[in-house]
Amino acid sequence: MNNFLIECLDVSKEYYQGNKTIKVLENIKFNLQRGSSIGILGPSGSGKTTLLHILAGIDVPTSGEVLFKGQQFSNCDTNAKAYLRNQNIGFVYQFHHLLPEFNALENVALPILISGQDKKKAYSKATDLLARVDLEERFFHRPSQLSGGERQRVAIARCLANSPSCLIMDEPTGDLDAENAESITNLIFDISKEQKTTLIIATHDTKLAENLESNLNLGFT
């Protein structure tokens, strides 16, 4: 029996426009152990975000499958997939996708509340996580009141809310200036090392990619 956290087994994805078939991913395969890391590289339109969505159970492959801790993930039912994702996977979108009507503390506490923990415990952990990403002075600020780097830090704190074994990130430094990008990169690797978290990161950031254990190139021949 292997000890892979995630197995991506010949995953392909196609879209259909009338009689035309558009191949986005073709026979993608790799596996990751707990605490390992991989960069998903490639030009715009090469399928990086599509692959991340399939790995996180947000989308399904046309063929192939994804196993998470040996359990078939890509084709399990909606409720089982949502539970597995809530408990095991933290997802950071390129443009953070924070809820605009909630403040930073509420955004981070929400996944913990969804998992069934009581409000006091959820807000206590959210407070600790925001402090961990150096946002002690921004607890009650809404996303519109935060800078781009601060919003991304809130998104990272939120993805850590349920202590996931895997972080999946879509261009986490893509919308940041050089100083903020370096700060976010250091934060990601510090947290991964502390918690032995598996990292899957789609990125154009060569400095970030060079610090990952392996890279998968999409869209190159």
pLDDT in tens, 107-122: 999 989 988 889 999 9
Say yes or no to pLDDT of 221 above 60.
no
Residue 3: count other Cβ atoms within 10 Å of its Cβ.
9
Q: Looking at residue 139, what is its pLDDT?
A: 95
Q: Looking at residue 75, what is its pLDDT?
A: 67
Mean pLDDT value of segment 130-154: 91
140-143's contacts with Cβ under 8 Å and 24+ in sequence apart are 140/103, 140/104, 140/105, 141/103, 141/104, 142/100, 142/101, 142/102, 142/103, 142/104, 143/96, 143/98, 143/99, 143/100, 143/104, 143/107
Say yes or no to pLDDT of 174 above 80.
no
Q: Residue 41's pLDDT band (boundaries 50, 70, 90)?
A: very high
Say yes or no to pLDDT of 220 above 60.
no
Say yes or no to pLDDT of 100 above 60.
yes
Q: Which residue from 180, 191, 174, 186 is spatially nearest to 211, judged by alpha carbons?
A: 186
pLDDT: which is higher, 208 or 76: 208
Q: Looking at residue 74, what is its pLDDT?
A: 65
70-96 pLDDT tens trace:
888 766 777 877 778 877 888 888 777
Which segments of 1-118 does DSSP mark as H helices, in order? 48-55, 78-88, 104-114
Tell me the residue length of the chain: 221
The CATH number corresponding to 4-217 among 3.30.1490.190, 3.40.50.300, 3.40.50.720, 3.40.50.1950 equals 3.40.50.300
Q: Looking at residue 2, what is its pLDDT?
A: 65
